[in-house]
Amino acid sequence: MNGYRDADLQAAAEAGIRAPSMHNSQPWLFRLRDGAIEVVADQARQLAVADRSGWAIRLACGAATYNARLALAMRSRPAEVHPRPRTDESAVIARLVPGPERLPTYAEQDLYAAIGRRHSNRASFWPEPVPADVRIRLIDAARSESAWLDLLVGMTALAGFAEIASSADRVLRRDARYQAELISWIHADDAPDGVPVGAGAPLPEPQDLLPQRAFGHRRRAPAREHEPEPLVGVLGVAGDGPVAQINAGQALQKVLLTATSAGLATSMISQPIEVPTARDQLRRALGRTGYPQLALRIGYGTPGRTTPRRDVADVVVRES
């Protein structure tokens, strides 16, 4: 089996950079080594305060790995993924090795087509519920990547989650260093990274059920409520080490692309994961033996726009 070439690396990187990352920090690099494509954590972009453990960078690079997988499948060159393959270089998140050549499946084509449309939508969603068959597709997407997605059903479960998430948000709001770091990633709308001012949610109001990060100063339109009963999903995996978090990132991206393909909007809620006590409360509330890795807000909303990305040339590393 021939190894990957420069054209494969380019395609993988072009798809990989469209993955989500905390504060749109885009902490990834892509390189070709010995015929395989490696997704490498750009540790210069690791959030020093919000991501001291490296959880968020591994989740983001895992999501980028999934996008790269889809791009390679579209070239009839699907990859076998080896997470954390190098004991001498912990920054290598995943190594993509060519598998048997085959045509892409219809499912892969649909998910690949959704990569360019996926973005975090922090605006209010419409009241229309997500149909049962679409919910099942989201759950199956997580399960196919060895993860689980618990969709919270009923106001009791939702209110319990909201209390945990809001408590965690208050903890983070009181951390001056955390807030300073967050503000440093609020950039102009045409910046290549960070969260554009125009992409932030309206300022939170007391009646809001779920916490929203204050990425700007825009207020909600009069008489416009944030959705009173949003659909919330909690994504988790059995373990909590680096490999488990990388796998969770791949599952996260498959869930997000499945949602986008179904016409849904999504945004991510990480506060209850970032605060250890809140995360443990959430795990116990779900009755799970595994570990929550991220929460998602899911629904139908007014289409927004994708956030800018760094140039592919800035993230591709070619061995000399």
The pLDDT score that the predictor gives to residue 116 is 95
Percent of the chain with pLDDT over 70: 92
- Three-class DSSP labels, the chain: CCCCCHHHHHHHHHHHCCCCCHHHCCCEEEEEECCEEEEEECHHHCCCCCCCCCHHHHHHHHHHHHHHHHHHHHCCCCEEEEECCCCCCCCEEEEEEECCCCCCCHHHHHHHHHCCCCCECCCCCCCCCCCHHHHHHHHHHHHCCCCEEEECCCHHHHHHHHHHHHHHHHHHHCCHHHHHHHHHCEECCCCCCCEEHHHCCCCCCCCCCCCCCCCCCCCCCCCCCCCCCCEEEEEEECCCCHHHHHHHHHHHHHHHHHHHHCCCEEEEECHHHHCHHHHHHHHHHHCCCCEEEEEEEEECCCCCCCCCCCCHHHHEEECC
* Distances, alpha carbon 130 to alpha carbons 113, 203, 211, 313, in Å: 21, 25, 21, 39
Q: For 16-24, what is the mean pLDDT?
A: 97
Global pTM reads 0.94
- Say which range, 143-152, 163-172, 189-198, has the weakest mean pLDDT: 189-198
pLDDT at residue 48 above 70?
Answer: yes
The pLDDT score that the predictor gives to residue 229 is 76
pLDDT in tens, 55-108: 999 999 999 999 999 999 999 999 999 999 988 889 999 999 999 999 999 999
Q: For 291-305, what is the mean pLDDT?
A: 93
The pLDDT score that the predictor gives to residue 215 is 61
More confident residue, 46 or 212: 46
The pLDDT score that the predictor gives to residue 223 is 45
pLDDT at residue 150 above 60?
Answer: yes
More confident residue, 278 or 212: 278
- Say which range, 52-56, 118-122, 205-209, 237-241, has the weakest mean pLDDT: 205-209
The pLDDT score that the predictor gives to residue 314 is 96
Q: For 165-189, what is the mean pLDDT?
A: 95
The pLDDT score that the predictor gives to residue 197 is 81
Q: For 196-219, what is the mean pLDDT?
A: 70
Confidence of residue 226 (pLDDT cuts 50, 70, 90): low
